[in-house]
Amino acid sequence: MDATEEVTPYERFGGHDFFAALVSDFYAGVATDPVLRPMYPEEDLGPAEERLRMFLEQYWGGPTTYSDQRGHPRLRMRHSPYAIDFDAMQHWLDHMRTALDARDLAPEDDAELWKYLSQAAFAMVNTGFE
């Protein structure tokens, strides 16, 4: 890479290994979460783990495997079958925060990633606005 090429967040964060570990730790929490686990129809969380990893890798400048295999992310549409309220959002964020805290990101990278994850989690809330 020469000086004119910008390093992507994907590379700064640690590439595939970073995202694989982040998502693995996240789903370890989801697996035993009484609020979130029922939202995952597959007996094995492996497929969901792979989809989230591929999505995050692509979003942050890594391989485009997610879109190559699944098309446009359409996150709101893909999550619409599930009643996601603020409690579910908080459970999701708690597990993601734990997974992110286990990583060794620079503070500015942690803040950038956390801001996105928090905004994305809020955007998936589709019920409980009464």
Residue 55 in any domain: the answer is yes
Specify the CATH number for the domain of residue 32. 1.10.490.10
| 94, 46 contact by CB (below 8 A) | no
Q: How many domains does the chain have?
A: 1
pLDDT in tens, 12-58: 999 999 999 999 999 999 999 999 999 988 788 999 999 999 999 99
Q: Which domain holds residue 53?
A: 9-124
Residue 69 in any domain: the answer is yes
Fill in the amino acid letter for 5. Answer: E
Taking the C-alpha atoms of residue 122 and residue 101, their distance in angstroms, rounded to an integer, is 20
Taking the C-alpha atoms of residue 111 and residue 126, their distance in angstroms, rounded to an integer, is 25
Residue 22 in any domain: the answer is yes
This prediction's pTM: 0.90
Taking the C-alpha atoms of residue 74 and residue 95, their distance in angstroms, rounded to an integer, is 23
Residue 108 in any domain: the answer is yes
Taking the C-alpha atoms of residue 7 and residue 21, their distance in angstroms, rounded to an integer, is 21
Q: Taking residues 96-123, report their average pLDDT.
A: 97
Residue 130 in any domain: the answer is no
Residue 58 in any domain: the answer is yes
Residue 3 in any domain: the answer is no
Taking the C-alpha atoms of residue 98 and residue 64, their distance in angstroms, rounded to an integer, is 26
pLDDT in tens, 47-63: 999 999 999 999 999 99
Residue 65 in any domain: the answer is yes
